[in-house]
Chain A
Amino acid sequence: MIERPELKEVRRQIRLMAREFGAEYWREVDRTRAFPDAFVDLMAEKGYPGALIPKEYGGLGLGPSTAAVVVEEINRFGGDASVINAQMAISSTLVRDGTDEQRARYLPGIASGKIRLLTVAATEPDSGADMSHLESYARLDGDHWVLDARKVLISLVEHSDLMILLVRTDRGPTLFLLDRKELGDKIETHSVTLIANRLTTTLFIDGLRVSDVARLGPVGGGLKCLMKGFALRRLLAASESIGNARFFLDRSIEHAKTRITFNRPVGQNQGVQYPLTQAYAKTEAADLMRWDALRLLESKQDASGRSALAKVLASEAAWEAGRAALTSFGGWGLATEYDIERKLRDASVFVFNNMLLSYIAEQVLGLPKAF
């Protein structure tokens, strides 16, 4: 496959950033469970948060392929693309379903990086993946809404100026776009520490009154609005995973060629070669599927099935590549100084695929609906 030259240049530019934001930087961010401020600021200065935002709102109006190579390349050089991914992907819901007023108020700031919209709060303690049983609730009181919500595993909310919140109303699930400045003491967060640096929290909102202006999309249309963004989100998750897979492969192949034991490179042993080759084959296949899905998405065709397949294949390829990296590196794969263990932890957040497999079974294979 021949990639468009400007995408190659995007890749090259991201790789150049690795000189300034090398392994030391990411290790420290990971170790201290910090937000990668300096890196995110540089990305903002260079216009990346505006990649997918239309030109009339100060963005660049580019297609998802650009976003895909950006997150892939950050992960491939050993960085962590999760924040940039969130910044590019989540704003698409506001682009699609925001009112003119919401768009004009927030999109230019999001495009320039001055406003961070990094969070969608959907998951709840008692329903998990099952979004049809939300307990968080918005009650209509005159022309205002009163919001009560309890959400878990919510990423980046403490670093986000805006947040999209999914709650139930009497007319079905509905989204709200909340401005942190206006939340005051009506919101409480407690961090939940995960294996990877995802800055997740439990989130409580208690009796917050907001005007109807804060509603995002139609009343009762909350899940639909989120679902319209799923193809993009899956493809960016796939791209992050492909970046992770290539990180493991690049490092492992180099190590396998140069590490000598028993008087020969460890990569001369089939026991090391085969896992790497298998992981490479799966990564390449996932990559092709990802481009096929991107092609559909960019030409405004239905990319739902292909994007789901790409996400499943890519996340599994990355996991397998991480496992192969451990075989190449031996014990050193678990030492922080080689970064394999850090990326393994990063790659772990993408391996939950059951919901997608059910979706593919039903939508692509035509099997009976599972739930």
Chain B
Amino acid sequence: MSYIFKLDKVKYKNILNIDNLHIKEGIITCLLGESGSGKTTLLRLLNDLISPTEGSILYKNKNIVDMNPVELRRKVLMLGQTPITFEGTIRENFNMALEFSEKEKAEDDILQKYLDISNLNKSLDHNAKEMSGGERQRLALARVLLLDGEVLLLDEPSSALDEDTEKFVIESVVKYAKDNNKSVIMVTHSSLIAKEYGDEIIRMNKGGTIDE
């Protein structure tokens, strides 16, 4: 099995201090740890939204500083912890994401498929600003899945969902990832979810260190 990410002596300010971390390709990796332990910071480093102050991050054995950041982000897509939707309808939100990644607009039935995966029962013409937090979170999830990257960095993708919806959504995302051979790195607050769906679990400690 090959590794999608290798981190070597990575430090980020005094927030993160990871001596050595290998993340495998094609599986679900769950990140657990109390709030403030640096989970979001780690995902942001992998998405190249911030750069480590020390150490190196390899993506498929290539140091990400030698890669074009925009091209990297089109392969390693991230869903942020606070889901942000853009002005306009659900369809326009999808199309904007496709435009960001310089992909062709998609037909409605394809968009609908992604709404189904994230269990969002809304018309494509629905105004994205007139949705609840949980609905927006699922739209943001569907939007990032649509872009068809190689890796999905999901930062607490179900934090605004009730227990039943959460279970359904995570299950269907995991199934989608397995069927399409995606690597998923998912932050979750729930060790139950991590145990049930994570092929690997990474625990982060308060000082931004990890034990596998």
The answer to whether A and B come from one shared complex is no
Binding site for A on B (CB under 8 A): none
